[in-house]
Structure 1
Amino acid sequence: MTTLNFGAVQGLTGAEQRHLQDLAGVYQYHQAGNAVKDKYYEGHVTLNDVNLGIALPGGLRNLEVGCNWGQKAVDALADRSMFDGFVGSGQAADTMAQLVAGNRLLAQYAKACRDELKYGCVFATLSADPALGCRIRFHSPATSAALWSGEKGRIDCGLAIIDTVPDEKFKGQWRPHIVNLYTDEAVLVLTLENGVWTAERHPHRMGRPLMEPMIWNATSGKPFGRSRLKRPVRALIDDYIRIVANATIALEFDTTPQKYLLGVTDDQYDAVVSSKFKQYIGSILASTSNPETGENPEFGQLAQGSLQPHVDKMRMTATQFSAATGLTITDVGIVNDANPTSSDAILAQSQTLVLMAQQLNQGNGDALATIARMAQAIARNVPLDALTEEEAGIMAHFKNPAMPSVAVTADAAIKIASARKEFASTDTFLEMIGFDQADIRRIKAQEQRVRGRQLLVEVENENNGENLG
């Protein structure tokens, strides 16, 4: 776990020093909770974490039961939030397209969205860049912190660790050496050298921190949102792990059912006990009568336990998890082969997740629009109020979270094109009938070559006609 201990930083004002200490305190306070969410997302939950101390033996406390429900709860929703770039008009659209490509924003958004749902929020930071115009980076709460201003309705100040852990093997012993502090007036680069932190000030004209959060499921009491892996969801994952462990132990006992022999002699008893496994797998078990009692030995087997109660409990827990997260019942591994679910029923089950994705896109779209406006202002080195109407009107675009089939979208595109003739020549039409951006570029390039050849043929025919005349 990363520790931030700044002390007195050279080059900071008294107010900035207080903000830094408050941010460091917030960062340290949330690290334990963030580590728990990360553990559930990665599936590194052991029986020792969930054991009630009743049925599970203590010797299995370090056993890890494979459970990807935490990852599924996050990824299934994140996969439906498909950022597709910014839309606008004029030069602003071209500028944002360059910023999106230069910062690899489509791929970065996909990673940031997972962190947002895992922890509740993620922070985007911006800085001037000579090559790109503006550099945009995303930081999870594991490497950043911020203070919310209810009066301003936005971040008051924030910090982000810039030199993160170089490799996972250094986790727990890595100490950052470069941390950025974001305020309304400047970005302060804090550098640790020889045990002393110093600040390098970079003033800006934005009038607000160059830091913007993307927040999931915020409330008035939790302005930085809530995780998809909140405590009730983690409790259901614990329940599932206990069920699987109990079922595994029950299966071991069912594989080797308990047998008994009554009325054997001491020698026979010693022979059986000395080679239990051999006696178990042998096809014949022979024994003479007991000379002391005259009784013949009696062989028996105790009734096997049933796995059905474990299966029923697993199904019940999976249904509760599905209801708590909005996942379909098939997403959590419950399939009814006897009565398969129709495609319409599966689509109806996914409506909850689609509505959540629409809510996620709406919130992230507002944040990305703010990021786009600040990025353009940084690239032009102007304040926000100096942006043109085109630059201020940039909007984020997301693909349909319902993910309809190509047949459905193609049919809709053709119907629209029949009513609006110009629509058939747009990129949107080609996207709706199933082509991605790479295909669209190839199609347009080949169409341009065809038009060029046709034009050459027409010019050549005209020249030949003139020569004959």
Structure 2
Amino acid sequence: MISFPNTISGLTNSEQELYRKLLRRLLKKRRRNRLRSKYYNGRNELHDIGYSLPPIAKDIDIVVGWPAKAIEGLANRVRLDGLLPADGGELPSSVSDLMDESDLVQLAQSVHTDAFVHSCSFVAVLSGDTSKGEPEVIIQEFTADVATGEWDKRRNRLKSALLFDTDDECDEITGIYLMHYGQTITIDPVGAGWKVGHREPNDQQRIPCELFAYRPDSKRPFGRSRIDRTVMSLTDSAVRTFLRSEIQAELYSVPARYFLGVTEDMFTDDDGNLVPKWQIMLDQVLSLPSNPQTGQNPVVGQFQQASFEPHLAQLRQTATMFASATSLPPDAMGVLTDNPSSAEAIDKASKELCLLAESCHTWFGHPWRRIIERAQILAGNGDVKTVQPMWRNPSTPSKAAAADLALKLVQGNILPADSEVTYDMLDLTDQQRSILRGEARRAQARKYIDSLTNGGTDVSGQSESASGNSQSTRTRTQ
């Protein structure tokens, strides 16, 4: 369990007040964020309504992975493929190096997933310690359970942030960053306490930390989690349904019996101990003597076997409601139905998920652009290149369908064959794009050399002819 320090040595009064304000906000939201993490990891507790489940049911672990399905179903459609210069052309090597050092594509997938779980995530651009082998610029994610901030409504950006760096197990704090307009304060552990390590000036208009929020609006700029109250309630209902069916399954093959005209002494062993009830239920042959008091023979009957259908019907209904709440196809919940979803129903659910993914491209695209620009400034690049993220098509078309569409657009002279838009439609990797650009440059160079070898009949020849005509004109003028 992480213990957050309440007092930091070396902070001014205003900075200490800002630190405690942000810490209170973090602790207030931390409980709900950790609860959502439990649902995502399948570690949520059983919420018994206290009516139908026996006490022994609390010792049975039932895991329903629907919350993780809701997160991954959208996260798999919001995939960052790379970066592209805003003015076209090839990505500078300095930006490519930043991407490689930070493993930006993998980092982006983690940031998006955490934003779906907690409603938001934070990414900061920090100076690395080169003496310890770190790169000059570090792009690091901080999840919402160890980071928070204040939102500037007038500027639509973070005006302050408090970030706790933790170890791999998230059990111990290894560093703290306090950011506000104009300054980043690094706080280091000193003995049993914490002290300001160093102060680094930053932009007066924007702190070096960006907020990645899912479904933000004016009232909730830090977004909303996909694991909302509806998802948690439906998951709890599914867990109880599974648990009731598991308990019934234990006795499904054993019919319930009843006995008339018997006494308790008839169900004892040779030592006078009562025979366990489960053994009586599993006995295929029952030998019961007549009642010594009345002389009547015992009557043994059997109740009608209970059906599993009520559990299955409730589970199907819960799965349908969950799929509707998360814009997932009903068949994705793993519950079989007599009437499978039609192609139209699946297509409609996929379209809703694609629309959400396209909205995420807008919500996450601008923060990534500013992160890369800030990293270039911190790295000391004189010419800061404006870039834009390249996103994978959320509808995930097949390679054949994408190639067919691109071919038709090129043949219709709507797109050039060597355009970045065409490459994007074909879902080519950065390495494949670089190879194609290099081959295009070599082909252009060979064409130019051939034109010079053939006597300058192409562009060079036209230039020479134009130059000769100009000289003749000047001669006649003189």
TM-score (norm 1): 0.83
The residue number in structure 2 matching 1:407 is 400
**Of 228, 233, 236, which aligns to 1:235?**
233
Deviation of 1:248 after TM superposition, in Å, equals 1.5
Deviation of 1:370 after TM superposition, in Å, equals 1.8
Matched, 1:341 2:366: no
Listed as ranges, the matches of 1:32-181 within 5 Å are 32-47=31-46, 50-88=47-85, 89=88, 93-129=92-128, 134-162=137-165, 164-167=166-169, 171=171, 174=172, 176-181=173-178
CA distance in 1: counterparts of 2:8 and 2:263, whole angstroms: 84
CA distance in 2: counterparts of 1:265 and 1:133, whole angstroms: 85
Native 8 Å contact 1:44 1:64 kept in 2:
no
Listed as ranges, the matches of 1:306-455 within 5 Å are 306-336=307-337, 338-380=338-380, 391-392=385-386, 394-420=387-413, 423-425=416-418, 429=422, 432-433=425-426, 436-437=429-430
**1:304-346: CA deviation from partner (whole Å, max 9, x where unpaired):** 222211111111111111111111111222333x444344542
Matched residue of 1:274: which SS? coil
Matched residue of 2:258: which SS? strand
Point out the structure with max Rg over C-alpha: 2
Call closer, same or farther: CA 1:266–1:7 in 2, change over 3 Å: closer
Counterpart code for 2:392: K
Matched residue of 2:9: which SS? coil
The residue number in structure 1 matching 2:455 is none
Deviation of 1:439 after TM superposition, in Å, equals 5.6
Native 8 Å contact 2:57 2:243 kept in 1:
no
Native 8 Å contact 2:124 2:139 kept in 1:
yes
CA distance in 2: counterparts of 1:100 and 1:365, whole angstroms: 15
**1:30-75: CA deviation from partner (whole Å, max 9, x where unpaired):** 111111111111111232xx11111112233243211111111111
CA distance in 1: counterparts of 2:74 and 2:310, whole angstroms: 31
**Of 167, 190, 195, which aligns to 2:192?**
195
Deviation of 1:376 after TM superposition, in Å, equals 2.2
Call closer, same or farther: CA 1:434–1:368 in 2, change over 3 Å: closer
Counterpart code for 1:167: E
Counterpart code for 2:310: P
The residue number in structure 2 matching 1:464 is none
Call closer, same or farther: CA 1:190–1:30 in 2, change over 3 Å: same
CA distance in 2: counterparts of 1:310 and 1:91, whole angstroms: 58
Deviation of 1:84 after TM superposition, in Å, equals 1.4
Aligned pairs, number: 438
The residue number in structure 2 matching 1:209 is 207
Listed as ranges, the matches of 1:17-36 within 5 Å are 17-36=16-35
Counterpart code for 1:245: L
Matched residue of 1:380: which SS? coil
Call closer, same or farther: CA 1:422–1:29 in 2, change over 3 Å: closer
Counterpart code for 1:318: A
Native 8 Å contact 1:148 1:155 kept in 2:
yes
The residue number in structure 1 matching 2:242 is 244
CA distance in 1: counterparts of 2:29 and 2:53, whole angstroms: 32
Deviation of 1:379 after TM superposition, in Å, equals 2.3
Call closer, same or farther: CA 1:263–1:18 in 2, change over 3 Å: closer
Give structure 2 stretches of 5+ with no counterpart: 451-478
Native 8 Å contact 1:83 1:398 kept in 2:
yes
Call closer, same or farther: CA 1:154–1:433 in 2, change over 3 Å: closer
Deviation of 1:262 after TM superposition, in Å, equals 2.8
Call closer, same or farther: CA 1:283–1:202 in 2, change over 3 Å: same
CA distance in 1: counterparts of 2:299 and 2:348, whole angstroms: 60
CA distance in 2: counterparts of 1:42 and 1:119, whole angstroms: 13
CA distance in 1: counterparts of 2:436 and 2:381, whole angstroms: 38
CA distance in 2: counterparts of 1:3 and 1:96, whole angstroms: 38
Deviation of 1:280 after TM superposition, in Å, equals 4.2
Listed as ranges, the matches of 1:286-297 within 5 Å are 286-287=287-288, 293-297=294-298
Deviation of 1:402 after TM superposition, in Å, equals 1.0
- Larger displacement relative to structure 2 (256-265 or 29-38): 256-265
**1:205-258: CA deviation from partner (whole Å, max 9, x where unpaired):** 463211110111123222111111122221111111111112222222323222
Deviation of 1:98 after TM superposition, in Å, equals 2.5
% identical equivalent positions: 26
Call closer, same or farther: CA 1:74–1:219 in 2, change over 3 Å: same
The residue number in structure 2 matching 1:253 is 251
User: Between Structure 1 and Structure 2, which shows a larger proportion of helix residues?
Assistant: 1
Deviation of 1:260 after TM superposition, in Å, equals 2.4
Deviation of 1:367 after TM superposition, in Å, equals 1.3
CA distance in 2: counterparts of 1:92 and 1:362, whole angstroms: 21
Deviation of 1:374 after TM superposition, in Å, equals 1.7
Call closer, same or farther: CA 1:202–1:248 in 2, change over 3 Å: same
Native 8 Å contact 1:82 1:110 kept in 2:
yes
Counterpart code for 2:97: Q
Native 8 Å contact 2:167 2:174 kept in 1:
no
Native 8 Å contact 1:406 1:432 kept in 2:
no
Matched residue of 1:233: which SS? helix
Give structure 1 stretches of 5+ with no counterpart: 459-469
CA distance in 1: counterparts of 2:207 and 2:258, whole angstroms: 76
Matched residue of 1:135: which SS? strand
**Of 174, 183, 192, which aligns to 1:186?**
183
Question: Over aligned residue pairs, what C-alpha RMSD do you find?
Answer: 3.2
Deviation of 1:444 after TM superposition, in Å, equals 7.9
- Larger displacement relative to structure 2 (421-430 or 100-109): 421-430
The residue number in structure 1 matching 2:453 is none
Deviation of 1:117 after TM superposition, in Å, equals 0.7
Native 8 Å contact 2:122 2:141 kept in 1:
yes
Deviation of 1:267 after TM superposition, in Å, equals 6.3
Matched residue of 2:98: which SS? helix
- Larger displacement relative to structure 2 (233-242 or 1-10): 1-10
